A and B are shown apart, each in its own frame.
Chain A
Amino acid sequence: MLNIIKTINNGNVIFALEGRLDTTTAPELDQELKNSLDGVTTLIIDMKDLVYISSAGLRILLSAQKIMNKQGKMMIRNANETVMEIFEVTGFSDILTIE
């Protein structure tokens, strides 16, 4: 239900998410992020093919943002309208960098 495609390039990591980021899939992303962020200065999360996010997904994004605030920057790309509305309703549009 969630595919995570990770690309690493000189301290930059891109996570492309496909599918649904919900209660059942959020732990997979959490684990992948925890395994991947050492020494990373730029984290990009590409949401082009992410169709759904719930509060379980927001939790993972917030903890990644907290880590990246200490060591570099994190950017969200290509969030669709449904996902954007969730960011806006929860105030996440103010704490995430959304391109």
Chain B
Amino acid sequence: MEPKTYELTVPADVDRLHDVLAFVDDLLEQHDCSMKAQMQINVALEELFVNIAHYAYPDSAGKATIRVCVHSEYAEITLIDSGIPYDPLAKPDPDITLGAQDRPIGGLGIFMTKKLMDYVSYEYKNGRNILTIKKVF
């Protein structure tokens, strides 16, 4: 049986972060996702949604769509926006061996997403940024 796909579209605004996380958490809980995987998905989703909220629409208000498909062993989540083209995966990874004094504040979000997820991909298609993550439960 093909797994169902669920979709939520919200204004791309940090104030909606908890709506996004609650939407995804509900679906993961229904499919017996482990608490650990759920928290890791939360971290990745927060980074990606907040990125869209902060940078996708510099001059206007826009929307973000979160599409969730839960398979028997993994969850696949896609974030879609029609803001300026931006590939967050193109950024070089931060140097995580630096001491506290030399570390820049920030720049860790996408790195954590790559580390915590089993798969991350980006494409720009039909005027939309499409970022997909997959996590095995």
Contacts and interface: CB of A to CB of B under 8 A. Distances in A.
A23 interface: yes
Contact of A54 (B15, B96, B109): B109
Nearest to B111: A90
Interface residues of A, number: 27
Nearest to A61: B100
A-side binding surface: helix, strand, loop or mixed? helix
A85 B42 CA distance: 14
A57 to B, nearest CB: 10
B100 to A, nearest CB: 4
Interface string B87-126: 0000000001111110101101101100110000000000
A53 to B, nearest CB: 8
A91 interface: yes
Contacts of B42: 52, 54
Given A22-B17, A23-B50, A82-B39, A89 B115 contact: yes
Categorize the interface residue count of chain B: 20 to 34
A24 B53 CA distance: 12
Interface stretch (A7-15, A38-46, A62-70): A62-70
Contacts of B50: 23, 56
Interface of A: 1, 22-24, 51-56, 58-59, 62-63, 65-66, 69, 81-82, 85-86, 89-91, 94-96
Given A24-B14, A91-B96, 15 more contacts: A1-B18, A22-B17, A23-B14, A23-B46, A24-B15, A52-B42, A53-B43, A55-B109, A58-B108, A65-B100, A69-B100, A82-B35, A85-B40, A89-B112, A90-B111
